A and B are shown apart, each in its own frame.
Chain A
Amino acid sequence: MGSLGMIIGTWLAGFLTLAILSFLYKDNPFYKLAEHLYVGVSAGYWLIYVAFFDVEPMLVTPFMEETGVEKWILIVPAALGVIMLSRWFPKTAWLSRWPIAFTVGVGAGLGITANLQGYVVPQVQATLLPMTGFNLVSLNNLILVVGVVTTILYFYFSKAHKGVLGVTAKIGIVFIMVSFGASFGYTLMARISLLIGRLYFLLSDLLRVID
């Protein structure tokens, strides 16, 4: 039974892979079938995932096991979650704005410190570079400092890009586009490796034409 299940699973996966790839030709019933299956199954999967990996371990179990303040404080997120369901009833739908406001506020507040500590400060520190003489390291440092400064100035919105600021912004966008080009090529290679992985599945597991 195990091997039969494996065979059926492999053929089903192969069929769905080909159905999704048929999108490259044009929209067709096979793609529609695979698409609707994918959306439906994944929506169901995430429902179960949230129930068993978020609600149960982070709310239900702690509420049953904790004592004192740590137990009763859980009523707050539980209440916010229940209030979200008030959208089902038009008369109380406005209540759902409270948990939304809470989520947005907490996200924005946490983001300030996290971004300062995780991005701004380390990147500023890494850009504090001097020229130590006439050598390649100094040239590299110079390019890095010029690139960072002009890129930041491109994203300066309080003044029109004219005059000196216009020139620096143009230099900045050149740096940005060069980095985009490098990123494009790098990511494209990663995507090709994904495609190779899928083709390997079709040729190896499904058709068995390669080992």
Chain B
Amino acid sequence: MSFPKCDMRAVALAAVLATGVLAIFGGDAFAQEDPLETGSGEIGGAPEAVGLGEFDETLLPTACNVTAEDLPDDGGGSIQVTWEPLEARGTDIGILAYEILRYAPGEEPSSLGEVPPTDTGYTDTEAEDGVPYQYVVRTKTPLGSTDSEPSEAAVATAQWVAMGRLSILIMAVLFCGAVLYYIRRARVGDELFVRKIPGLEAVDDAVGRATEMGRPVLFVPGIETVSEVGTLAALTILGHVAKRVARHGTPLDVPCADPIVMTTAQEIVKQAYTEIGRPDDYDPARVAYLTYDQFGYTAGVDGMMLRDRPEAVFLVGTFYAESLILAETGHSIGAIQIAGTKETSQLPFFVAACDYTLIGEELFAASSYLSREPVMLGSLKGQDLAKLWIVYFILLAFVVGTIGYIARPDGSSLLTKVFDVMHSWFG
């Protein structure tokens, strides 16, 4: 295989012509010094400045040490090309761009495109698996182009396992293993302890108070879709609330922002009424769709609060900027408010404006605690075990790293190296 070299003679000829023009029109000072010696050459003046009568290729910058290798941890079809820029000796000839050329057996060389002069790498995403490719990086300057030496041949292949994500895989296997283990224990009837969650004990009080006052209960399941875990947890809690409401004969309103959430909520509330033995009391019109628009939904729920005056308001699920508007409106009508969300940016508003708040994971724990379903209970216990592993790992790394730095503050101790390995394993 032959590789085209940049036509340096043409560049040299152009440079010689430029020298002549500059010499004629008073460019004498330009040709006085050898930029190789002084390092003061300028773009456009370099070749003739050599003063040797021939163009010196080394004046032009070029890419060197071009390497090509299969892109790791991918599904094939990609080759990573890297190079090092070799600047012209003693000149300031700027690089306009790098052009990447690809050579395949039996094919004409093809240009893959250009990258800015600041780049030192390119990923060929159009490679065919199993075909050996070589790459040449063409350095483009105002005075011409230079081609690098060709890289070694590289072949794109697909990897079965992304080794860069091995830590994720191991953690997923461990976490899922712990969850499956506890689900199995829950299914065979083992007693799995879950501590009481303060906000949940207020649910019965809130429903009871609404019953006494003869006013409805409002359950707001958030504004996200049913595939959001926060919404799923909210729907589980809705089932619990619906049973309490059905038992007391208190009206329950569930305005929804998502049609599928509405459908699911209707099923859950209907199931709760059926289980309590009052299926005829279930009114599907009370589990209604408002709008998917965030603040349109907020305006609608606010209106319901003001007109229906619910005595108990549940704000459970995924909320964003509407959280404070809803919680403040509920507060203004004097309702008991129980809130819960995993959105850390909205929790402060619920804590400030509601009577009880399920903070973050308490929301999921609450749904497991209430349902006592083996799958949910096992998931909660499995997650608890995973949390303990994480805590132990963090503390172990802290102790190892700290002792290592105390022993040798320059970071050369064996323990410091162990700490670095622990840290980089996640990367």
Q: Which residues of A contact B (CB under 8 A)?
A: 20, 23, 27, 31-32, 34-36, 38-43, 45-46, 84, 87, 96-97, 99-100, 103-104, 106-108, 111-113, 116-117, 120-122, 124-125, 127-133, 145, 148-149, 152-153, 155-161, 176-177, 179-181, 183-184, 187, 191
Contact = CB atoms under 8 A, between A and B. Distances in A.
B172 interface: yes
B384 A84 contact: no
B319 to A, nearest CB: 12
Main secondary structure of the interface of A (DSSP, over half): helix
Interface in B266-292: 267, 289-292
A99 B401 CA distance: 50
A127 B362 contact: no
Given A39-B296, A156-B384, A108 B398 contact: no
Interface of B: 165, 167-168, 171-172, 175-176, 192-195, 197, 225-229, 232, 260, 263-264, 267, 289-293, 295-297, 299-300, 302-303, 306-307, 321, 324, 344-345, 347-349, 351-352, 359-362, 365, 369, 380-381, 384, 387-388, 390-391, 393-395, 397-398, 400-402, 404-406, 409, 416, 419, 422-423, 426-427
Contact of B165 (A84, A99, A117): A117
B295 A38 contact: yes
B367 to A, nearest CB: 12
B381 A38 contact: no
A149 B399 CA distance: 13
Contacts of A180: 347-348, 351
B345 A42 contact: no
A183 B346 CA distance: 8
A157 B194 contact: yes
14 contacts: A35-B302, A35-B303, A42-B292, A42-B297, A43-B292, A96-B263, A100-B263, A116-B172, A121-B167, A122-B426, A124-B393, A128-B419, A152-B390, A153-B391
Contacts of A158: 192-195, 381, 384
B171 A41 contact: no
Contacts of B349: 184, 187
